[in-house]
Amino acid sequence: MAAKNKNQNQIRLFMAMFIIEFCLTFVTLCLVSIIFYSGLHKTTVNCSNAANNQQRLAIAVNDNGFVPSGFALRSGQPASLTIRNTGKMPHSFVSDKLNINSGPILAGQIKTIEIPRLPDEIAEYDFYSNASGDDQQIFSGIIMTFQ
């Protein structure tokens, strides 16, 4: 009798865990759908087009990484990246494929990088900080280009 009760309790526990996992998955899918269909996923980057088609993007780097760590820019257009170090340590902004190297950006400093023309291709370009003490896995991100 005790073994039967133990089996029934295990089945009930399994069913309760299954129901909880199902509900969490359902809620997650609903939230993702709401974010996707409302367009909230598109509003996280401060990027604007000036009259001359130059794209402007503000990026913050602090002692925990870049914000945003990923963004999209139109290919074949000029871009202006304004990088503000809001941390306490020096950081940098480097993209080898785009031939960008800001040099050190000290705490509180702002540097603007002008890209005369992004490549015409749709691609992803890695960027990172090569400042002393910065872990490139944390201090990194991706620039995506689109047409």
Residues 63 and 104 in one domain: yes
Per-residue model confidence (pLDDT) at position 29: 67
Clarify whether residues 23 and 66 are in a common domain.
no
Residues 73 and 37 in one domain: no
| 3-state SS class at 67 | strand
Q: What is the pLDDT of residue 88?
A: 94
pLDDT in tens, 42-61: 433 444 444 467 899 999 99
Structure tokens at 142: 């991706």
Residue 88 shares a structural domain with residue 20: no
pLDDT over 70, % of the chain? 79
Q: What's the chain's average pLDDT?
A: 82
Taking the whole predicted model, whether its pTM rises above 0.75 is answered as no
pLDDT of 108 above 90: yes
Q: Which domain holds residue 57?
A: 45-146
Q: How far is CA 35 from CA 31, 40, 108, 141, in A?
A: 6, 5, 33, 22
- For residue 104 the two structure tokens come to 């050190």
